[in-house]
Amino acid sequence: MIYDYIIIGGGIVGASTAWQMQQLYPKKKILLLEKAPDFAKHQTGHNSGVIHAGVYYQPGSMKAEFCRRGASATKTFCDQNNIPYMQCGKLLVATNAHEMELMQALIERCKQNMLDIEILDSKQLRREEPNITGLGGILVKTTGIVDYKRVTKRMADRFFALDGNALLEHEVTDIRESDTDIRVYTTCCGEKNLFKGRFLITCAGLQSDRIVRMLNIPTGFQIIPFRGEYYELSSDNDNIIKHLIYPIPDPDLPFLGVHLTRMIDGSVTIGPNAVLGWKREGYDRINIDIKDARDTLTFPGFWAFFKRYYKTGLLELKDSLWPPGYLKLVQKYCPKVKLADLRPYPAGIRAQAILKDGTMVHDFLFAESKRSLHVCNAPSPAATSAIPIGEYICKRVAEKTL
């Protein structure tokens, strides 16, 4: 059999793309390949579950556009598929004079991105959140929370209902492109397999650079993994906040800082930080993979990045190893949280694309060949944006194949 489209990656972006492709082209044969035993096992299943509104993103960027459309589309999808979500809103809290200055720039950015916000002084902030202290804040009303694993699996179900085909536990080992087809080689349970297609779409997340290299497509980037470590608050703190609570972020970094997140099950998490990872899929406390570490250390862009941000990296590492330091990041806006309240919680891994000069890729990044299209960088808010990203991919593929 030769498939019309083969899609690699069973996270939320891959599942969204497969479902929408099959919906657009019901007579086409579409195959989705995922190396894990289930969908949403990596970045999708290890994030904060936030439906982002689009506060931080450069107006006119893919991030800003995808996030704005994605927040609405995600909620509509949940309504149509009986998936619970909560539009609890988000508070960005400024705790000192410098953060108040940075907050003004965020207010302007929110206006440019046409977001529904409310600006709070310290008294209004305390009325909204009695356990939060700060000089002021921004209330972003449209931010919500959801279980993205459940969203992804429902997208996969919709794909199956349209006669789409998916194979789990199939790890891609090689890809060959010719003038007539594209061939994807996988291993599953020790057996080698070959799948032929007319066109390939890859949404491979943490492995995106390696997949692209299989086709020798020049891109100049590499994925550097960053561990995002979380804690869960003890259950007696489930009502400590009503909104999601975020610090004012450092504008020079793509990470949003340690925040308090209400989860859809009623619990509250703290995190994530951003610690350099030595294993791309390392969710345990201690994680080292020789191949992953070697790829990082031999990439010139890593050393350029490290030279630029080593002080920040060392501080993140210190707070990772020393819980009181981590806790201090939260206590500056929520002093009620104590060390004894922190409970272990699974970590996540962020796939950060970095260029050879050490520059972080902040927006979505794509690469292509005659018979393939690759999502090379899908940074936060990729989960929120999964439906419009899928729409964009479908449009790009149509331009290349129809």
CA–CA gap between residue 296 and residue 291 (Å, rounded): 9
Which of 377, 350, 355 is closest to 366 using CA atoms?
377
pLDDT in tens, 28-55: 999 999 999 999 999 999 998 999 999 9
CA–CA gap between residue 27 and residue 229 (Å, rounded): 44
CA–CA gap between residue 313 and residue 37 (Å, rounded): 33
Looking at the chain, the whole-number percentage of residues with pLDDT higher than 70 is 99
Q: What is the pLDDT of residue 374?
A: 98
The letter for the amino acid at 346 is: P
* Domain assignment present for 192: yes
Which DSSP letter does residue 52 get? -
pLDDT in tens, 260-279: 999 999 899 999 999 999 99
* Domain assignment present for 365: yes
* Domain assignment present for 44: yes
Quote helix, strand, coil % in the chain, to nearest 5: 35, 30, 35
What is the residue range of 178's domain?
A: 1-87+144-220+356-402
Q: What is the pLDDT of residue 287?
A: 85
Instruction: Count H helices and E strands in the chain, helices first.
Output: 10, 20
Q: What angle do CA 240, 242, 245 make, to 5 degrees?
A: 85
* Domain assignment present for 208: yes
pLDDT in tens, 66-91: 999 999 999 999 999 999 999 999 99
* Domain assignment present for 2: yes
* Residue located via tokens 């981590």: 326
pLDDT exceeds 80 at position 201: yes
Q: What is the pLDDT of residue 289?
A: 95
* Domain assignment present for 238: no
Bridge partners of 15? none
* Domain assignment present for 98: no
**Count of all residues that appear for the chain in the document:** 402
pLDDT exceeds 70 at position 254: no
pLDDT exceeds 70 at position 350: yes
CA–CA gap between residue 377 and residue 367 (Å, rounded): 10
What CATH code is carried by the domain that includes residue 49?
3.50.50.60
CA–CA gap between residue 227 and residue 44 (Å, rounded): 14
Q: Helix 148-161 crosses helix 12-24 at what angle (to 10 degrees)? A: 30
Mean residue pLDDT across the chain: 95
Q: Give mean pLDDT, residues 215-227.
A: 95
* Domain assignment present for 385: yes
Cα of 264 vs its chain's centroid, Å? 17
pLDDT exceeds 80 at position 223: yes
**How many domains, in total, are found in the chain?**
1
Give the pair of three-digit tokens for residue 108: 């302007």
The maximal CA–CA distance of the chain, rounded, in angstroms, is 67
The letter for the amino acid at 236 is: D
CA–CA gap between residue 274 and residue 221 (Å, rounded): 20
Give the pair of three-digit tokens for residue 122: 């310290």
Q: 201: part of which helix (H) or strand (E)?
A: strand 191-202
> Pick the residue with more confidence: 252 or 149?
149
The model carries a pTM of 0.95
Q: What is the pLDDT of residue 249?
A: 87
CA–CA gap between residue 329 and residue 173 (Å, rounded): 42
pLDDT in tens, 95-108: 999 999 999 999 99
Q: Give mean pLDDT, residues 56-73.
A: 92
pLDDT in tens, 301-334: 999 999 999 999 999 999 999 999 999 999 999 9
Q: In this structure, are residues 9 and 34 in contact, taking their beta carbons and an 8 Å threshold?
A: yes
